[in-house]
Amino acid sequence: MRGLAGVLERVYARIPAERQLGLERMEAACAALGHPERAFEAVHVAGTNGKGSVCAFVASMARAGGRRVGVYTSPHLVRFAERIQVDGAPIPDEVLLPLLERVLALDPALTFFEVATLAAFLAFRDAGVDLAVLEVGLGGRLDATNVIPPPRVAVLTRVAFDHQAELGDTLRAIAEEKVAIIKAGSAVVHGKLHPDARAALEARVAEVGARIVPLGSAEPTPGASLAYPRISMLGTNLAVATTVGRELGLSPEALAAGIEATTWPGRNELLHRNGLDLTMLDCAHNPDGAVILSHILDPSSLEGIESRRDVVLVFGALRGKNWRAMLDRLEHAAAHRVFVAPPVARAVPPEEMARAFTGEVASSIPEALARARAIVGERGLVVVTGSTYLVGAARAHLLGLPTDPAADS
């Protein structure tokens, strides 16, 4: 572990260069490594929200269908290796360490995310993965993952306002960055889109000669109700994933088995002890995600929760995020709030939040969780949200998990 910790320090040291978007460094590095990005078929997933859940569903379905599957997502919640998974499990530290060392030795100009992406490509090639499910990190056009050849399926989930400084301040501009993952010959699956985002997608499809696949039913067998009620609340994201699965040629049986087996920690995840001390972890980190979470927190869909008086938010956010709009969207979802800083340098001070919204301030995440539980009692619901970094730290504390540092990028 000490060896990996030292290598991760070197990887994290490249975070200050993280917003240096562009494909030139990645293209040169891939060539030097013998083009590992060409070693597998890919499903490439872009969007503002829902990327991770779509990746998790598609990968689980493909595994159920007998494919050897790699998954690359970001950020991690608890351990860095969560970003690179093969057949449903993070790659072992003894595999991760030499991969990172090999990439770090290539080019000192490679950014944190480029190093992680190259390590994933190498891991998938070495493991003989035949399908890689790749989540875009930021945007799409200049994202490090976009060096791959035309993907088997290009996916666009939701498009909403986030990262405007890098992607643009209109939905059309943001969508144009994201749809650049669509390449010649790719099948394209998309979720519900604003007309401006839909126009950008259609223009890209026409430009490169791709093919839009109509969004199908979320049910593996259309017309047959899902047997997994909480999963069904994911709505369009599940329909997107199931449509991708059909495009990959997976049977209804594989789709159903994959849905049932899907896990996606920290996203609409419920933790409890003997049916009590219920805690929901959800990585909603922008206003669009907060709207989705507010629907999930409707008391009518939460067993044992009678009203918002039984719900408390543990909330923290990062500078650059519209946390005021997020809290506005969640105003009627919970009667109580405890503000706390996520464990990264860009955290908004909880005192600043408490000046704008009613709520208590906690000095640490364990203190925030304990105070929230005291407010609603053992039968109430504690909801941890606002930042992926907060959710990861809370999950590690609640489950007693070993951790790697959060990547403040």
> Both tokens of residue 270?
């419920």
Strand segments, DSSP code E, in 87-148 are: 89-90, 131-135
**Contact predicate 161/171, CB 8 Å:** yes
| Encoded tokens for 382 | 């504690």
pLDDT value, residue 233: 45
What is the C-alpha to C-alpha distance for residues 54 and 155, in angstroms, rounded to an integer?
A: 9
Distance CA 104, CA 216 (A): 43
Query: What is the chain's pLDDT, residue by residue, as a tens digit (409 residues)?
Result: 468 899 999 999 998 765 677 899 999 999 999 999 999 999 999 998 889 999 999 999 999 999 999 999 999 999 999 999 999 999 999 999 999 999 999 999 999 999 999 999 999 999 999 999 999 998 889 999 999 999 999 999 988 665 555 665 688 888 998 999 999 999 999 999 999 999 999 999 999 999 999 999 888 887 776 665 455 445 688 999 999 999 999 999 999 999 999 988 998 888 887 667 899 999 888 888 898 888 888 876 676 677 889 999 999 999 988 999 999 999 999 999 999 999 999 999 999 999 999 999 999 999 999 999 999 999 899 999 999 999 999 999 999 999 998 776 5
- Domains in the chain (CATH in brackets) are 2-261 (3.40.1190.10), 269-399 (3.90.190.20)
DSSP-assigned beta bridge partners for residue 42: 132
Query: What is the per-residue pLDDT for 298?
Result: 80
Q: Is the pTM of this model over 0.75?
A: yes
Q: Which of 68, 41, 71, 42 has its CA nearest to residue 56?
A: 71
User: What does the pLDDT read at residue 232?
Assistant: 44
Helix or strand run (H / E) with residue 375: helix 365-376
